Amino acid sequence: MAYLALYRKWRPRTFSEVVGQKHISIPLQRAIEQDRLAHAYLFSGPRGTGKTSMAKILAKAVNCLHPNGANPCNECQSCREINEGASLDVYEIDAASNRGIEEIRALKESVRTLPAVSRKKVYIIDEVHMLTKEAFNALLKTLEEPPAHVLFILATTEPEKIPLTILSRCQRYEFHRISVADIRDHLLYIAKESGLPLTEDAADLIAVRADGGLRDALSLLDQCSSASESKVLDARAVYDLLGLTGKDRILDLSHHIFNGKSGETLSLFYSILQDGKEPAAVLRDLLEHFRNLMICKINPKAPELTQYGSQVETLRSDASRLSEPYLDALFEALHAALSEAKRSSSPRLSAEMGLLHLCRIRGSQSLDSLAERVTQLEKELASLKKGRISMAPAQAPSASTIPVPPVFPQPVSQPVMKPMPQVPSPSFPEQRPPKTAGTPAAGPESRNFPKAPPVSKPSPIPAAPDPPTTAPGGPSVPAPAASNGAALINPSTYEDLWQKVLGYFMSIRRIDVYTCLRKSTLIYCTYTRAIVSAPQPFLVAAGNNKSYQKVAAEAFNKITGHPIEIHTVLKGSEEEASAYTLLKTAEAAPSPVTPQHPDPIPQKVEQNPYRPISREQISDKDRSDPSLNEALKIMADCDIYEKTNQ
């Protein structure tokens, strides 16, 4: 007798033998027992999940002469003929090769005749989604109201291609992918019954590679059992027979990549190629490994991780140490390398370059790598704030936590951490650059320190020192030069002074500066420096514009006789809190400074010749102006000004 493939030999013959589809077999059995069968069924789902087998079991169950409950007996003449494919009343039609309207017309003619020997004529149409549009239209009426002796069973892997008019006429059952555990147990059962020396690790590996299809799993088992020369069919034999890379070598390859060891990575890659593996296949196995690492971070007990066998703990340990952004960067880079290797004229070269790029991911400027390093730096700063890290210089953050990766490889003799002295860090005061010009520089980069701006140089301490420019716990606020001109202006005059400054902007027709600063508030002012608070970030950016600051200094000079430079901060920010703290400190000074100018606001500013109005207040005469109408169409809801009669 000719040899039968395992998936044909072990095809299920009763409802109870169908693996992993109890949500379908149980309702069908109840419908048979209660005599409530529908006239048309649609079985849909992935390949190898039991659709055609379930259809044959249903055909036997409705025609069995001696049923065992709802299950067919598989011993009567009707069951034997259906099992052998020789029944005159059960038609198996392949819609992929019989997809035209002529075949459907022949089917409609056959439906009218009574069954030859069975109770029902059963039509099993496999891959029904391959029928043409005309064939579906011809089948509609027959499928909706077939004769009482006819049962239609449609099977497909792509139900979305079937017209809704067909779907609405059928009872639909969706077949699920079979779980790894169910496939493994079934493989071990078949191997035991067939005398195959299959180990549990090999069964796990085959079950994972089958991707939910039991027929694929049985085909892989059949292939491995016939090609294996060893007495035991273990995981290593399955790896060799299926052309896969062993998990131990994949783990070693990934460890070299994580450690950035390019030489070791290429050496192991060449060793794998010597065993007959294709470059693209190695990258594909490595890509699946990175995917399993991501799955392990989410669910360390995922069923597909059983293919690692005794090395699953190594996988879990790697997943716990690797960050998600880093894994994302690895997966994306490897996916691009695999795509390039598939379409490249030199797959090995593309695979080598892809692996070298993976070794450099941690030092690259990709977004995922930068995100990982920023996250690590934030953790370091949080630990420093909580005082859980010693303040000793020897425990400064390592180079891997500083997000300044080199774009190109640096020479070995060049120190990578040379820019570190220029990084301001409140936790390491000894690393700050020296403030005296006579201190010798620590390296070539330090020779520019004597040319630093005058703010960093020490200045003589005046008789009446200014208040400190840094609030406790807040950011630094630019401080005026220590001179008599830096005396604090009386805060009670700030509102009047600021209104006159805004009026000056309008008097010189600088409406843009007025619009930007009119919502700001003067919160600190000396005769050299003023700090204003703005309610929105874009107003802060505009207020600190050099041209706007120049106009503001001109306005202060016109009013107070001093070119006061303004600095804009965001309302509610730490800078604003520092300015208020600075103001309170200045007011509480033991020797308050009196302004040199007898009148803080000595000059009278020309009254603003413009007044703000709304769109509704525009006169009819002005509305008739076509230029104004066109301007109003494209203008945003901003301030509109009208010249007064003065």
**DSSP characters over 454-487:** GGGS--PPPSSPPPPSB-TTS-B-PPPPSSGGGP
Determine the structural domain holding residue 212 and report its residue range.
Answer: 180-242
Query: What distance in Å separates the CA atoms of residue 514 and residue 552, rounded to the nearest whole number?
Result: 10
User: For the chain, what percentages of helix, strand and coil (3-state, to nearest 5) are there?
Assistant: 55, 10, 40
Average pLDDT score, the chain: 78
144 and 84 in one domain? Answer: yes
Instruction: Report whether pLDDT(109) > 50.
Output: yes
∠ CA 174-175-181, nearest 5°, is 145
251 and 158 in one domain? Answer: no
Q: Count the Cβ atoms, other than its own, within 10 Å of residue 74.
A: 16
Indicate whether 602 belongs to any domain. no
Query: What distance in Å separates the CA atoms of residue 443 and residue 64, rounded to the nearest whole number?
Result: 94
Give the confidence band of 594 by pLDDT, cuts at 50, 70, 90: very low
Between residues 467 and 22, the one the model is more confident about: 22
CATH number at residue 266: 1.20.272.10
Q: What is the mean pLDDT of residues 534-541?
A: 88
Instruction: Report whether pLDDT(400) > 80.
Output: no
Q: What is the pLDDT of residue 230?
A: 64
258 and 231 in one domain? Answer: no
111 and 92 in one domain? Answer: yes
Indicate whether 29 belongs to any domain. yes
- The continuous run of DSSP H or E covering 523 comes out as strand 521-525
339 and 283 in one domain? Answer: yes
What's the structural domain count of the chain?
A: 5
Q: What is the pLDDT of residue 585?
A: 83
The pLDDT tens digits of the residues spanning 287-322 come to 999 999 999 988 888 888 888 878 888 999 999 888
Cβ pair 232, 238 in contact under 8 A = no
Indicate whether 406 belongs to any domain. no
Q: What is the mean pLDDT of residues 164-192?
A: 92
The b/e string for 5-18 (b: 16+ C-beta within 10 A; e otherwise) is ebbeebbbbbbeeb
Proportion of the chain above pLDDT 70, given as a percent: 75
Query: What distance in Å separates the CA atoms of residue 188 and residue 200, rounded to the nearest whole number?
Result: 7
Proportion of the chain above pLDDT 90, given as a percent: 33
Tokens at 585, concatenated? 């400190």
Question: Where is average pLDDT lowest: 124-138, 229-243, 516-530, 593-607?
Answer: 593-607
Q: Count the Cβ atoms, other than its own, within 10 Å of residue 369.
A: 23
Give the confidence band of 575 by pLDDT, cuts at 50, 70, 90: confident
Chosen domain end from 128, 148, 174: 174
Q: What is the pLDDT of residue 92?
A: 92
Burial of 331 (0-12, 13-18, 19+ CB in 10 A): middle
Q: What is the pLDDT of residue 610?
A: 63
Query: What distance in Å separates the CA atoms of residue 95 and residue 394, rounded to the nearest whole number?
Result: 75
Indicate whether 560 belongs to any domain. yes
Q: What is the pLDDT of residue 335?
A: 92
The pLDDT tens digits of the residues spanning 262-293 come to 999 999 999 988 888 889 989 999 999 999 99
Of 175, 169, 83, 161, give the one whose Cα is nearest residue 128. 161
Cβ pair 560, 595 in contact under 8 A = no
332 and 190 in one domain? Answer: no
For the CA atoms of 139, 145, 146, 152, what is the dihedral angle to 10 degrees?
60
161 and 23 in one domain? Answer: yes
351 and 284 in one domain? Answer: yes
Chosen domain end from 313, 342, 368: 368
Amino acid found at 72: P
Instruction: Report whether pLDDT(440) > 90.
Output: no
Beta-bridged to residue 174, according to DSSP, are: 44
Q: Count the Cβ atoms, other than its own, within 10 Å of residue 38.
A: 11
Q: What is the pLDDT of residue 587?
A: 77
Q: What is the mean pLDDT of residues 228-233?
A: 72
Q: What is the mean pLDDT of residues 440-454?
A: 38
Chosen domain end from 174, 205, 223: 174
Query: What distance in Å separates the CA atoms of residue 338 and residue 350, rounded to the nearest whole number?
Result: 8
Beta-bridged to residue 570, according to DSSP, are: 534
Indicate whether 409 belongs to any domain. no
CATH number at residue 231: 1.10.8.60
Q: What is the pLDDT of residue 603?
A: 43
Tokens at 195, concatenated? 């005398």
Indicate whether 377 belongs to any domain. no
Of 165, 158, 177, 131, give the one whose Cα is nearest residue 40. 165
Q: What is the mean pLDDT of residues 80-101?
A: 90
Q: For CA atoms 314, 316, 321, 324, give the dihedral sign.
A: positive
Stated pTM of the model: 0.52
